Amino acid sequence: MDWTKQASIFRGMLWLALLASISTTFAFVGHLGPQTASITATARSGSYRTASNTLFMMAGDKKYKIVLVRHGESTWNDENRFTGWYDCPLSIKGLKEAEEAGKALKEANLRFDMAYTSVLRRAIHTLWMCLEELDLMWIPVKKNWRLNERHYGALQGLNKKETVDKHGIEQVNIWRRSYDIPPPPVDKSSEHYPGNDPKYADVDKSVLPVTESLKTTKARFLPLWENEIIPDIKAGKRIVIAAHGNTIRALVQHLDNISEDVICGLNVPTGVPLIYELDENMKPIKHADAIAPLQGHYLGDQEKIRAKIEGVAAQTGGKKLGNHLPKTFGSEYICGW
C-alpha cells in the first residue's frame, strides 16, 4: 500500500474518532436537559469549540452575574425631602455620579444584554448615562413600577427636619427604625397618590401603595425578581438594574438573607455599581471585597466606597435633621429614610 493510501486511511480514522467524541458529548448534553439545546445547535453548526466551553461551564460551577446601581443624587435628595415616588430629576451632583458609574462599568469591561429600571426619571437617567458610556443604548430596557422607590405616604414631599418639628422625634424614630411600620397613608386626592399619575394608568389601583414600609416594598418588588428577572438571568442574559435605595435594599436582603434589624442600618451609596455573582440556585457567591453584611462587592476604590457609605449615614443622621436629634441618630436608626 503506497503512502497516499495510508495517509487517506489515517485521516479517516481521525474523523471517526472526532465523530465518536462529539456523539459522546451530545449524549451527555441529553442528560443535562432541554436548557442545553442551544449548545447542541451550536456544535452542529460547526462551533464545537464554543459548545465545549459552554458545556464546561454547565458541568462545572455555573455562575451568573448581575449589576445593581442606585441612581445618582436627586434634586429632592439635595433639598432633604422625602422623595419616594415623586418624579424629580437628578441633581448636578447626581448627574456626575451617574457618569462616574458608567465609567466604572466601562473600566471593568462589563457588558450587558438587557437592563431593568423603574419608571422614575432619576433611575432611568442614571441607566441612560451608564449605557451611553458603554455604547449600549441599543439594548432592551424594561421599565417597571415594581422597581420604584419606597412610597413614603403622607410624608412624601416634606422636608425631613420639618417632619421632626411636626410629628416629634419619638414618632419619627418609629417610622425610621421600623422594618414593618409605614408612615401615615397619602390621601387619594393628593398628587402623590400613584392612582392620579398617568404613569400608572395600566396598573390595578388595588396594588398601588398609599404608603409603604421596607417590608411591603420588598413584597411589591419580589414578584418582578422571581417572575421576570431570574428567568432572564437563567436564559444567559447579562443584566444591569438601575433602581433606588430601598428596592436595592429589598433585593440584597433577599439574596444575602439579612435580618430585619441589620437591613435597616444598611446604606447603599448613590452611583456606585454593586456586583453579585450568583450560583445556579441564585444564591450569592461571596466576593473577597464584600463589605458586610453584603456578599456582593462595590466596583471601585474600596476605601473611597467605605467613606461614601459612611457619608450616606451621616447625611441621613443628625447632621441634616438639625438639633432635634440625639448624637446616636445615625445609620442604626435608618430603614429607608
Find where cell 433602581 sits. Answer: 243
Give the span between the Cα atoms of 271 and 160, in whole angstroms.
23
* CA-wise closest residue to 103 among 336, 272, 297: 272
Whether residue 77 is annotated as binding a ligand: the answer is yes
Give the span between the Cα atoms of 158 and 162, in whole angstroms.
7
Whether residue 73 is annotated as binding a ligand: the answer is yes
Whether residue 71 is annotated as binding a ligand: the answer is yes
Whether residue 323 is annotated as binding a ligand: the answer is no
Whether residue 70 is annotated as binding a ligand: the answer is yes
Give the span between the Cα atoms of 13 and 4, in whole angstroms.
14
Catalytic residue among 71, 125, 244, 297: 71
Tell me, yes or no, if 226 is annotated catalytic: no
Whether residue 177 is annotated as binding a ligand: the answer is yes
Q: Where are the alpha helices (DSSP H) in the chain?
A: 3-32, 37-44, 48-59, 75-78, 92-107, 121-133, 160-167, 169-177, 214-224, 230-234, 245-256, 260-263, 302-315, 318-321
* DSSP classification of residue 201: T
Tell me, yes or no, if 100 is annotated catalytic: no
> In the chain, what is the greatest distance between 2 CA atoms, to the nearest angstrom?
103
Whether residue 72 is annotated as binding a ligand: the answer is yes
Buried b (16+ CB within 10 A) or exposed e, 303-319: eebeebbeebbeebbbe
Whether residue 84 is annotated as binding a ligand: the answer is yes
Catalytic residue among 133, 149, 192, 212: 149
* C-alpha cell recorded at residue 179: 422594618
Residues 109, 113, 119, 122: what is their CA dihedral angle, to the nearest 10 degrees?
A: 10
Find the helix packing angle between 48-59 and 3-32, rounded to 10°: 40
Find the helix packing angle between 121-133 and 92-107, rounded to 10°: 40
Whether residue 311 is annotated as binding a ligand: the answer is no
Whether residue 121 is annotated as binding a ligand: the answer is no
Phi/psi for 240 (5° steps) reads -120, 140
Whether residue 83 is annotated as binding a ligand: the answer is yes
Whether residue 160 is annotated as binding a ligand: the answer is yes
* Annotated binding-site members for substrate: 70-77, 83-84, 122, 149-152, 160, 176-177, 245-246
- Which residues belong to the active site? 71, 149
Residues that constitute the known binding site: 70-77, 83-84, 122, 149-152, 160, 176-177, 245-246
